[in-house]
Amino acid sequence: MASATIKIFLPHGDPKRLRTAELSNWTGKAIAGPRSEFDNVLAREESANPGIYFLTGLDPETGQPSVYIGEAESIRDRVKAHLEKDFWNQIVFFISKDENLTKAHIRYCEGRLIEIAKIAGRAIVKNSQASGSKLPESDREDMEVFLEKLQQLLPALGVEVFVPTFSPSQTSAQPDVLFCEIKGLKAKGYLTPNGLVVIAGSQAVLNPRGSAAKYPWPQNMREKLMEQGNLVASSDHLVFTKDVEFSSPSAAAAVIHGGHANGLTAWKNSSNQSLKELEALEANA
CB count in 10 Å sphere of residue 275? 21
| pLDDT tier for residue 168 given thresholds of 50, 70 and 90 | low
Which residue, 168, 236, 227, is CA-closest to 206? 236
Question: What average pLDDT score do residues 10-25 get?
Answer: 94
Summarised one tens digit per residue, pLDDT across range 184-227 is: 999 999 998 878 999 999 999 999 888 777 778 888 899 989 99
CA-to-CA dists, residue 74 to 80, 150, 175, angstroms: 11, 19, 45
- Strand pairing class (124-125; 88-96): unpaired
pLDDT above 70: residue 239 = yes
Summarised one tens digit per residue, pLDDT across range 258-270 is: 998 899 999 999 9
Question: What average pLDDT score do residues 73-98 get?
Answer: 93
Better-scored residue on pLDDT, 130 or 246:
246
CB count in 10 Å sphere of residue 157? 20
Residue 173 pLDDT: 57
CA-to-CA dists, residue 63 to 68, 133, 168, 250, angstroms: 15, 32, 30, 22
| pLDDT tier for residue 172 given thresholds of 50, 70 and 90 | very low
pLDDT more than 90, % of the chain: 68
pLDDT above 70: residue 69 = yes
Residue 247 pLDDT: 87
CB under 8 A, 24+ apart: contacts of 176-184: 176/269, 177/269, 177/270, 178/249, 178/267, 178/268, 178/269, 178/275, 179/267, 179/268, 179/269, 179/270, 180/252, 180/253, 180/256, 180/257, 180/266, 180/267, 180/268, 182/256, 182/257, 182/266
Summarised one tens digit per residue, pLDDT across range 92-114 is: 999 999 878 899 999 999 999 99
pLDDT above 80: residue 19 = yes
Structural element, H or E, at residue 183: none
Domain segments of the chain: what residues?
6-157, 168-284
Q: What is the mean pLDDT of the chain?
A: 90
d(CA 207, CA 233): 10
Question: What average pLDDT score do residues 159-167 get?
Answer: 78
Better-scored residue on pLDDT, 1 or 76:
76
Residue 165 pLDDT: 66
